[in-house]
Amino acid sequence: MESSEKHLSWIRKLYGYMASYVSKSPRAAYFNYRDLDLGVNNKGNTSNAQARIWGEKYFKNNFDRLVKVKTKVDPTNFFRNEQSIPPLLSKA
């Protein structure tokens, strides 16, 4: 656990250091690096509003469209990770 905190601290410092070197209009997050400081999927029980916090940082204006696709293709949220897009809850 101590080693994990050491590594997380290092990456957070690097993130802060590199901020001044990024382009003028970058995405707030890079999807292949799961930035858990943005938020975490609560064991697949995350609301759309909670997921929007990190989802819009990764996918910008595509988030709502991707939620619709996720709802159609994976309505039970079988394919999920720490920051996956949750499907909309059905009203059934």
- Active site positions, annotated: 33
| DSSP element (H, E) containing 67 | helix 63-73
Pick the closest to residue 56 from 28, 79, 75 (CA basis). Answer: 28
Please give the span between the terminal C-alpha atoms of the chain, in angstroms, as a whole number.
42
* Spatial separation of the C-alpha atoms in residues 62 and 29, rounded to whole Å: 14
